[in-house]
Structure 1
Amino acid sequence: MGQIRLPGNPDIDVILRRSARARRLSLRLSQLDGRVTLTLPRGVTEAAGLAFLRDREDWLRGHIDRHEGMVDVTHDSVLPIEGVERRVQPGAGRSVRVEGGALLVPGAAADAGARLRGWLRARARDRLAEASDRHAAALGRGYARLTLRDTRSRWGSCTADGGLMYSWRLILAPPEVLDYVAAHEVAHLAQMNHSPAFWAVVERLYGDWRAPRRWLHDNGATLHRYRFDT
């Protein structure tokens, strides 16, 4: 992969991806993080790619303007914690804590994002472990392990040997959404598919799963707006 820049106000940085399988030039704007990727088939030059970008500049800038901006987490940032928006403020002591509508993060502003990410991951693990244990007990099946990642393509997964994986960013979503994802993945311990039988297990564990599933479809991408390494 490489990178080129489309000049303008402002300039647009474009990731350049070459593909032997691509049959034509293609342009993609990620709805998760706003990154622009241009795919070039074999034999197409960067100059041709830049000309392709210029032809589609108005379309690209229009879509970028409509894309919600990224949030670099530091003091005075606002982000959701379990679905409730909190403002990050400097705090005393050594631990992150919630007070009213504020999220108090000790230390320098430059370190607030990294410190807060660690706190969020720990909180996510606690909530997801509790939910997974509860649903697994109701199902009558155990799971092998629980891991957290910062995945963009899925909110959770279950392996054939009973390993559960979740995105720690679920801690930003409303609690019922996190609980639904835990029920969904635990249900895979019994049904490694998405058949009607699988959804029946999800409904038995969680109840009506349609609203939290719809919330993730409509709002899940916004959870990736927040950058903790600034």
Structure 2
Amino acid sequence: MVGFLGFQSTAKGSLTAESQQLAIDHAGDALPLTFVRSRRARRVSLRVDSARRQVILTAPQRMPFEMAIEFARMQAGWIAARLKRLPSPRPFVDGAEIPLFGVPHRIRHRPDARGTVWAEQGEIHVAGRAEHLPRRLRDWLTAEMRRHLPPLVHAKAVRVERPVKRLSLRDSRTRWGSCGPDGGLTFSWRLVFAPPEVLDYLVAHEVAHLVHMNHGPRFWALAERLCDGPMAVPRAWLRANGETLLQYGA
């Protein structure tokens, strides 16, 4: 069993080669839909992929296609409302504002400089050609997470007397962090946008899984002790703002 902390609901099963891009009509609008058949699914289900801004309709292998689509049509109002509530995309472009560990920074393109990224006085400067700005900024933000994360993780791991066998970053679409049975911890690089208390809570959560690979009372008690402050505050922040973190760089 693997402990994890997710930021969106997941349908049973996984994407397969049997996926189709569709659209259903609702109030004069065409709602985009990705239809997927899954060997593991036991019933039809819908979920919103916040990062990709699309709706996934998952159906069991033997369910008739029209039956699955009719289910989506019956839920068209929910789909439309859910898509409308998604935060707007926030691309990495000159002049855009992004948070760096919760502190607002303005992106500044510096075509006059060469091959580097740096932050100063509330701005993040990105050198080079404009078409390289998104990639260079993302690489720099990921490097910032790699710099800030290990000391926090290892300090909490020492408190529970457990080794961290591996520490990695990913752009996961379903989890902020995870703890594997081998003692490896993985986090989303997008936590570079979150306030420090949110990162602290998520690290506490995953380090606690090094001891308790479940979400029972002893796990939550340990996670609470590992946090620098009350867990309720960062958990509420994630519920309110987590989807926004997925839109930076979109």
**TM-score band, normalised by shorter chain:** 0.7 to 0.9
Cα distance in 2, alignment partners of residues 95 and 132 from structure 1: 28
Deviations 1:171-218 (A, max 9, x none): 110011111111221122222222222222223322422211221222
Bigger relative contact order, structure 1 or 2 (CA pairs below 8 A, ≥6 apart): 2
Deviations 1:7-58 (A, max 9, x none): 798754321223575656x554434442123445633249x94x87677666
Q: Aligned residues: percent identity?
A: 40
Residue in 2 that maps onto 1:218: 240
Q: 1:186–1:89: structure 2 CA closer, same or farther, 3 Å change rule?
A: same
Structure 1 residue runs without a partner (length 5+): none
Q: In structure 1, give the amino acid aligned to 2:237.
A: W
Give secondary structure in 2 for the equivalent of 1:190: coil
Report the CA distance between 1:81 and its aligned residue: 1.2
Residue in 1 that maps onto 2:9: none
Counterpart among 165, 174, 183 of residue 195 in structure 2: 174
Deviations 1:112-169 (A, max 9, x none): 1111111111111111101011112222322111011111222111222211111111
Report the CA distance between 1:62 and its aligned residue: 4.3
TM-score by length of 2: 0.76
Residue in 2 that maps onto 1:72: 91
Structure with bigger helix share is: 1
Cα distance in 1, alignment partners of residues 42 and 161 from structure 2: 48
Structure 2 residue runs without a partner (length 5+): 1-18
Residue in 1 that maps onto 2:210: 189
The answer to whether the 8 Å contact 1:17/1:40 transfers is: yes
Cα distance in 2, alignment partners of residues 56 and 201 from structure 1: 40
The answer to whether the 8 Å contact 2:197/2:234 transfers is: yes
Q: 1:202–1:53: structure 2 CA closer, same or farther, 3 Å change rule?
A: closer
Report the CA distance between 1:59 and its aligned residue: 5.4
Cα distance in 1, alignment partners of residues 109 and 124 from structure 2: 8
Give secondary structure in 2 for the equivalent of 1:198: helix
Cα distance in 2, alignment partners of residues 159 and 52 from structure 1: 36
Residue in 2 that maps onto 1:97: 118
Q: In structure 1, give the amino acid aligned to 2:32.
A: D
Residue in 1 that maps onto 2:14: none
Residue in 1 that maps onto 2:20: 2
The answer to whether the 8 Å contact 1:113/1:227 transfers is: yes
Counterpart among 166, 169, 173 of residue 152 in structure 1: 173
Cα distance in 2, alignment partners of residues 55 and 198 from structure 1: 40
Q: In structure 1, give the amino acid aligned to 2:244.
A: T
- More divergent stretch after superposition (9-18 vs 94-103): 9-18
Cα distance in 1, alignment partners of residues 81 and 223 from structure 2: 40
Are positions 1:84 and 2:106 aligned together? no
Aligned residues: 225
Residue in 1 that maps onto 2:11: none
The answer to whether the 8 Å contact 1:33/1:70 transfers is: no
Cα distance in 2, alignment partners of residues 201 and 59 from structure 1: 38
RMSD: 2.8
Give secondary structure in 1 for the equivalent of 2:109: strand
Are positions 1:30 and 2:83 aligned together? no
Cα distance in 2, alignment partners of residues 53 and 205 from structure 1: 43
Cα distance in 1, alignment partners of residues 224 and 73 from structure 2: 50
